Structure 1
Amino acid sequence: MRLIILFYRFSNGEEDFIVKLSPSYGEVKIQITQHISNRLLSIIDLKRVSKFEITADKQERASVLLTVINEDYQQSFEIDFKPYFKQIFKEHLTK
């Protein structure tokens, strides 16, 4: 199996994003910094992503939904990149 790592760098004008994807391993890492000061705002580093869904990909709005499924629970990460960074984390028991 070949290891594929994808990097994406982009900005919404307020925040800068670096997204690292390793689909074959289910790894997703997203680093968010403030554009003007380069101050770190957040790092999301997930090792067992079951599903990566682009929920919006437009000029004015961009967002993704990441899902991690374990034996007893499911976690979802809703991340908005545009117009501004927003992160919502939810955990649901499955048993």
Structure 2
Amino acid sequence: MQGFPEENDLLSLFECEPIMFDTTMKDFFYNEATYQFSNGEEEFVVTLSPSYSEVKIQVTQRNCNTLLSLLDLKSVDKFEITADKKDQSSILLRMQNDAFIQTIEIDFKPKFKLILKEHDTR
């Protein structure tokens, strides 16, 4: 699936069923899936469009509904699950162009954390 995890792996990671854009389409890769979940402190809305290499992640503070982070990425070439446990979940996203590779490390549990790194490939 071109750098994206399988549907079952995402179900395990996000611990919820996705809302599918096209409910008649059977192929997950060509659909858009939205996962809504919480870690107790933050609320997450993760929208994936694997065939377009798009990932959107919105994070809000649960008690006051304040936006903490919004990523709207259009060229993700790798989506890797780095931890999927009851008390810890995290991913690594990678985007690459001619001169740079950008990686984004995101922890969902136990608490939200985002680390963005840019690596020179020249």
TM-score under structure 1 length normalisation: 0.96
Q: Which amino acid in structure 2 is aligned with residue 47 of structure 1?
A: K
Q: Which runs of 5 or more structure 1 residues have no equivalent in the other structure?
A: none
Q: Which amino acid in structure 2 is aligned with residue 34 of structure 1?
A: Q
% identical equivalent positions: 59
SS of the equivalent of 1:24 reads helix
- Write 1 or 2 for the structure with the bigger share of strand: 1
Alignment partner for residue 34 of structure 1, among 54, 58, 61? 61
SS of the equivalent of 1:48 reads coil
Aligned to 2:115: 88
Q: Which runs of 5 or more structure 2 residues have no equivalent in the other structure?
A: 1-28
Alignment partner for residue 18 of structure 1, among 45, 52, 61? 45
Runs of 4+ in 1 over 2 A off after TM superposition: none
The structural deviation recorded for 1:68 is 0.2
Write the mapping of 1:44-59 to structure 2, written as runs, cut at 5 A. Answer: 44-59=71-86
State how far apart, in whole Å, the 2-side matches of 1:7 and 1:34 are: 19
Aligned to 2:21: none
Q: Alpha-carbon deviations, 1:30-79, whole Å to 9, x = none?
A: 00000111111010111000000011111100000000011110000000
State how far apart, in whole Å, the 2-side matches of 1:37 and 1:89 are: 26
Superposed CA RMSD in Å reads 1.0
Alignment partner for residue 9 of structure 1, among 28, 32, 36? 36
SS of the equivalent of 2:45 reads strand
Paired residue total: 94
SS of the equivalent of 2:51 reads helix
The structural deviation recorded for 1:3 is 3.9
